[in-house]
Amino acid sequence: MAEILTRRHRVTVPSFAHSFDLLTDRTRGLLIDCTQDGTILGDSYATAEERHQQFSEALNGDKYTYEGIKDFSHDYTESATLRCACGKIVVLNDPMDNECECGQIYNGNGDALRPREEWEEPWDED
């Protein structure tokens, strides 16, 4: 028998950045990742120290105008998971059709479905 491991749920990913607009073109600018309180963060391209230097140059230069800290946080839905009777983990990301490696099919609620060959043929008006 299958066992639900996690229920479907919303996840919020916090994301903040110091925002600068380019003076010559306000549709362009500079974002420097930070925490909600403004602490500058490093990323895959530069360390926090390098980003802090970039922030200081942008703030004290004459190329940008500082727009403050902007909130770019976003949400997404994390699909439910279950452990199939065979022991494998199945992600229930489809409302109707989630197949385990062993061939067992589950709906989005984690209910086991009959094999596909036992499903009725789709109705066709032609």
CB atoms within 10 A of CB 66: 13
Structure tokens that stand for 10 in this block: 């919303």
pLDDT digits (tens, 9 = 90+) for 74-112: 999 999 999 999 999 999 999 888 999 999 999 999 999
Q: Is the pTM of this model over 0.75?
A: no
- Taking 3-state DSSP, the helix, strand and coil percentages for the chain, each rounded to the nearest 5, stand at 15, 45, 45
- Sole residue written with tokens 């589950």: 106
21 pairs with which residues across the strands? 29, 65
Q: pLDDT band at 120, cuts 50/70/90?
A: confident
Q: Identify the CA nearest to 2 among candidates 65, 72, 92.
A: 92
pLDDT at site 90: 97
- Contacts of residue 54, defined as CB under 8 A and 6 or more positions apart, other chains included, come to 30, 32, 46
